[in-house]
Amino acid sequence: MEDYSQEDWGNHSQDLHGYPTDQELDEIPVTKRTLKIKQESSEEAQKRDIMQNIVQILESVQLKWELFQSWTDFSRLHLSNKLAIFGIGYNTRWKEDIRYHYAEISSQVPLGKRLREYFNSEKPEGRIIMTRVQKMNWKNVYYKFLEITISEARCLELHMEIDWIPIAHSKPTGGNVVQYLLPGGIPKSPGLYAIGYEECIERPLSPHVEQRSLDPGKEGRVDLETLSAQTSLQVEIEPTRITYCYLGIAEVRTLQQCLFLHFQANTKTFSKDWVGINGFLSQNCIVDPGVSPKSIYIKFVEVERDFLSAGSLVECLEKAIGYPLKFNN
């Protein structure tokens, strides 16, 4: 790795970070500047969450760190055309424990090429690593990787990048039966799909709300906020969490056909002996008066049929989410 002068290093720092100057900040209206900061912070938080999820996957499969010696190592045949999840780590002269610097799913670019970018001083990613080693911020640099198939890469994309779509349902017909209303636009092509349901976590009302409703300083007056709090349910609902329960592979049928078969099962012929995802969805259509069915969600991604048979897709998703899928064998 070549040496840089202080002046060169200052220039590289500005190139890498791209922070606006004071003059540029003054020229940006306060409201626009605030929106920009909020947008950037939201994007950074999203990137941080994705990276944390990738690190969790790498840790769950217990891979060993490999010491980086020369970036030409990544030209080796067994790395040149592989897709993989990889991590870059480092330690210091003061602490031998290896910590993560970066983690990524290399699903579009072969692993060998992507790693060379992180260990090549002419690339922005490599320049960061080079300078930290030169300045003795870091002692050694390491890498680890887990090879994945194209279908597994798409499965991880389904989990990390694709939003859930809520499934609407009709009003009860024939007594206590509701019907699912699938959205339009489901592809008539092969791919992967996931089904999940919403969990509302209830916890006791926080003490400060109860104290406010019994404030002795407000006797004889009607506080609308307090009255509303008293007449509402005495629980606080935490943000909902969607739980994965099934991963489907639309290989023989299309995504549209598979989802239709799951959600349009005939509830009149429902039997308690039914098991699996179809039994769960059908039973959810039978509701007691005044009770809404469990909220159901789907997400899907198109994948070429030739790639769907490769990999261990259910295990891949279970590692990514951190718990087993209830209705996958």
Secondary structure (DSSP) of 197-223: EEEPPEEEPPHHHHHHHT-GGGTTS--
pLDDT of residue 237: 46
Does some domain include residue 33? no
Whether 275 and 304 map to the same domain: the answer is yes
Can you tell me the mean pLDDT for 297-315?
A: 94
Q: What are the backbone angles phi and psi of residue 143, rounded to the nearest 5°?
A: -145, 155
Whether 101 and 169 map to the same domain: the answer is no
Can you tell me the mean pLDDT for 207-215?
A: 43
pLDDT of residue 15: 41
Confidence of residue 28 (pLDDT cuts 50, 70, 90): low
Whether 166 and 144 map to the same domain: the answer is no
Does some domain include residue 251? yes
For 57, 59, 95, 118, 240, the CA distances from 111, given in Å and listed in that order, are 17, 19, 29, 11, 37
List the domain range (segments joined by +) for residue 180: 162-200+241-321
Find tokens 């909020």 and name the residue.
38
Does some domain include residue 8? no
**Whether the predicted pLDDT of 270 surpasses 60:** no
The separation between the first and the last C-alpha atoms of the chain, rounded to the nearest angstrom, is 51
Q: Which helix (H) or strand (E) holds 21?
A: none
Confidence of residue 200 (pLDDT cuts 50, 70, 90): low
**Percent share of the chain, pLDDT over 70:** 67
pLDDT of residue 208: 46
For the chain, what is the radius of gyration of the CA atoms? 27
Whether 50 and 93 map to the same domain: the answer is yes
pLDDT tens figures, 272-291: 555 789 889 988 888 777 67
pLDDT of residue 207: 46
Whether 121 and 90 map to the same domain: the answer is yes
Domain tally, the chain: 2
The identity of residue 260, as a single letter, is F
Does some domain include residue 129? yes
